[in-house]
Amino acid sequence: MKSILSLARSFAANIAGHALRLFALFVTAARADWRGVGPEPVQRVYYANHTSNGDLPMIWAVLPAALRRQTRPVAAADYWLKNRLRAFCGRDVFRGVLIDRRPEVNDNPMDKILAALDEGSSLIIFPEGKRNMTDDPLLPFKSGLYNIAKARPDVDLVPTWVANLNTIMPKGEVIPLPLICTVTFGAPVHVAEDETREVFLARAAHALADLRPEDPA
């Protein structure tokens, strides 16, 4: 009985994932620009800029099916477990690695992230830690990216720039604008042996900001 239920659940998640993907592609004509790497199914950590709650579905939608199946987003548990619908999306559709951000909980996020990597999954992470509401292209990165790079030096860290989403779906707006969204994947970065945390994070942030298209206006 239980296995039938979980089968039905994963089937529903599959359908919902396809529907979500088609919706995202229809509304934004989202497109992947594989500039620094190709869409090969090797293990990667895609680290992306974060301006909107649509960022994650957008990256997820432009990944080819084979890559999408092996890629899991690292996301905030307090956001994704808020209600049953979000929990269904976060846990079943995106198969998120959910991290509890509450200070009173000692969740050891790195353990979960490394466990997911050791299972062979690729990850999507947002190293700014929260949505960027400023006019700067990026907020200072949290240490997570450096810790991952140190702990698993063989994994490619791929800078992933999501363009336009802050205009498509700004914080506080209800109706998304159907503008074109481009997700650009840059050349992977790795931490050098004697590189300090600050230097590496600055270099990784620079590699990501470099993918930003020029402001048309």
Partner 1 sequence: MTQTTMNLALLSLGVCGILVALTILGEVLRARLPAGQANPVLDTYQTRVQSWWTIVALVAIALMAGQFGAVLLSFFASFAALREFLTLTTKARADHLSLALAFFAVLPLQYLFVWMGWHGMFTVFIPVYAFLVLPVVSALRGQPARFLIRVAETQWALMICVFCLSHVPALLSLDIAQMGDSNVLLIAFLILVVQFGDLLEYWFGRRIGKHRIAPELSPKTREGMIAGLLSAAAIGAALHWITPFGVLGAAGMAAAASLFGMMGHLVFAAIKRDRGVQDWSHLIPGQGGVLNQLDSVLFAAPVFYHLTRYIWAT
Q: Which is nearer to partner 1, 29 or 192 (CB)?
A: 29
Report the distance separating Cα 37 and Cα 183, nearest Å.
13
In the set 173, 187, 192, 196, which binds partner 1 (CB under 8 A)?
A: 173
Write out the binding residues for partner 1, residues 1-30 only, by CB under 8 A.
Answer: 29
The contacts of residue 87 (CB under 8 Å, 6+ apart) are 80, 81
CB of 137 to partner 1, least distance (A): 17
Q: Which is nearer to partner 1, 31 or 197 (CB)?
A: 31
Q: Give the contact letters, 138-167, x = binds to partner 1 (CB under 8 A), - = no.
A: --------------------------x--x
Q: Which is nearer to partner 1, 107 or 173 (CB)?
A: 173
Residue linked to tokens 């947002």? 126
Count interface residues toward partner 1 (CB under 8 A).
14
Q: Which is nearer to partner 1, 30 or 125 (CB)?
A: 30
184: contact with partner 1 by CB under 8 A: no
Report the distance separating Cα 105 and Cα 44, nearest Å.
28
The contacts of residue 155 (CB under 8 Å, 6+ apart) are 43, 44, 45, 117, 148, 149
217: contact with partner 1 by CB under 8 A: yes
Give the total residue count for the chain.
217
The contacts of residue 118 (CB under 8 Å, 6+ apart) are none
Strands 71-76 and 44-48, by their bridges, are unpaired
Binding site for partner 1 (CB under 8 A): 29, 31, 164, 167, 170, 173, 175, 177-180, 214, 216-217
